[in-house]
């Protein structure tokens, strides 16, 4: 009996030691605590000099981690383990996270710089009164094309992608909503369509695009287009801005049939350990000078009206990234279609990718 008692005592001490070690390492890595702030964002989506500036101004150490999809981000936050103080999901993910009670309400009284945000980007359907999210960047999905490689052929819309002259010349971003969305738009359907016959029609049309597709890729799409490995690519507007700066033969167009208007907003996950620090960080990013610097680095469109005034006219007057009203009225925000329908979109997208093989 004494041996058994000693054995249990040893096991208890080891377990307690491991728990303490885990707690210590989490603190050391910034996974909680008032003197650290863990930010979860898309890759290459912030000017890291701003992180250093925030640390200098507040004394709060920033632990910066990245994700490559809204789904991956939501899964990690749902699972717990690592606690994030600030995350930057897209609008449909925010709607879903609200439904699943994964977000904390934001105290607007702690965000004096919120006044700089253009009212057009506030109080949108996915988050009325911005109770849970604050605008970070916005943009579109469109087509980048190489004028030299296409011998000055003009690209105006999604349907141009099916031109047989573009065999093995198109790169697609690896996203179900984006790819199914542009096929639906090419048929003049909503990119939030849930009509099964429309979805099957869109998938069948994608299958016909297969000969023109060189690859379906992730972040490497930027490098491939800059290096002229393909003549066309379906990309997000910020990526387009970045790569156009590296290759003067590249052009970007928001398709005439319509496209996606997306928003990435800052949120505070429910498991946040430094809520006060999270508010300080969000307010810091809303400062016009910081927002302008971030916009120049990232290349996406800023919702910050005062920051926009600080940018060069070359940026602020560029209709490709700040499109006129007659085009923006054709753009749609992704809706949260629910788990079942989103799974169906993913299934159709996977079938399309398998069809290519």
The bridge status of strand 134-146 relative to strand 261-266 is: antiparallel
The bridge status of strand 232-236 relative to strand 170-173 is: parallel
- 3-state DSSP call for residue 331? coil
Kindly give the interhelix angle for 176-186 and 339-356, rounded to the nearest 10 degrees: 80
Locus of tokens 């606690």: 83
For the beta carbon of residue 187, count every other beta carbon within 10 angstroms.
15
Strand partners, 236: 141
Distance CA(19)–CA(24), nearest Å, equals: 9
Contact 90, 260 (CB under 8 A): no
Distance CA(35)–CA(10), nearest Å, equals: 34
Q: Which residues of 317-343 are buried (b: 16+ CB within 10 A; e: fewer)?
A: ebebbbbeeebeeebbbbbbbeeeebe
For the beta carbon of residue 175, count every other beta carbon within 10 angstroms.
21
Locus of tokens 């994700």: 67
Single out the residue of 310, 337, 270, 328 nearest to residue 138, CA to CA.
328
92 is in an annotated binding site: yes
Contact 157, 280 (CB under 8 A): no
Residue ranges of the annotated binding site for spermidine are 92
Residue ranges of the annotated binding site are 92
């Amino acid at each position: 009996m004494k041996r058994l008692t000693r054995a249990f005592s040893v096991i208890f001490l080891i377990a307690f030691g491991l728990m303490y070690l885990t707690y210590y390492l989490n603190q050391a890595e910034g996974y909680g605590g008032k003197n650290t702030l863990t930010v979860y964002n898309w890759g290459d989506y912030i000017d890291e000099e701003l992180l250093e500036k925030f640390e200098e101004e507040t004394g709060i150490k920033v632990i910066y981690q990245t994700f490559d999809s809204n789904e991956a981000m939501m899964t990690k936050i749902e699972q717990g383990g690592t606690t994030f103080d600030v995350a930057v999901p897209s609008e449909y993910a925010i709607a879903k996270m609200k439904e699943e009670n994964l977000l904390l309400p934001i105290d607007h009284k702690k965000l004096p710089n919120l006044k700089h945000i253009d009212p057009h980007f506030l109080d949108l359907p996915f988050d009325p009164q911005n109770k849970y999210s604050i605008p970070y960047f916005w943009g579109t999905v469109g087509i980048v094309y190489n004028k030299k490689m296409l011998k000055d052929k003009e690209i105006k819309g999604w349907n141009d992608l099916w031109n047989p002259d573009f065999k093995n010349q198109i790169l697609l971003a690896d996203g179900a909503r984006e790819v199914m969305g542009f096929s639906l738009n090419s048929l003049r359907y909503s990119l939030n369509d849930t009509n099964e016959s429309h979805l099957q029609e869109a998938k069948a049309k994608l299958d016909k695009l297969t000969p023109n597709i060189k690859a379906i890729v992730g972040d490497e799409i930027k490098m491939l287009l800059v290096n002229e490995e393909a003549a066309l690519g379906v990309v997000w507007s910020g990526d387009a801005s970045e790569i156009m700066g590296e290759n003067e033969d590249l052009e970007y167009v928001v398709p005439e049939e319509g496209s996606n208007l997306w928003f990435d907003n800052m949120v505070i996950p429910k498991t946040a350990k430094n809520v006060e620090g999270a508010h300080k960080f969000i307010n810091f990013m809303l400062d016009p000078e910081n927002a302008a610097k971030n916009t120049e680095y990232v290349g996406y469109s800023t919702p910050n009206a005062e920051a926009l005034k600080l940018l060069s006219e070359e940026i602020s007057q560029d209709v490709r990234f700040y499109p006129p009203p007659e085009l923006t009225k054709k753009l749609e925000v992704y809706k949260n279609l629910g788990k079942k329908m989103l799974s169906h979109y993913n299934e159709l997208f996977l079938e399309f990718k398998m069809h290519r093989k």
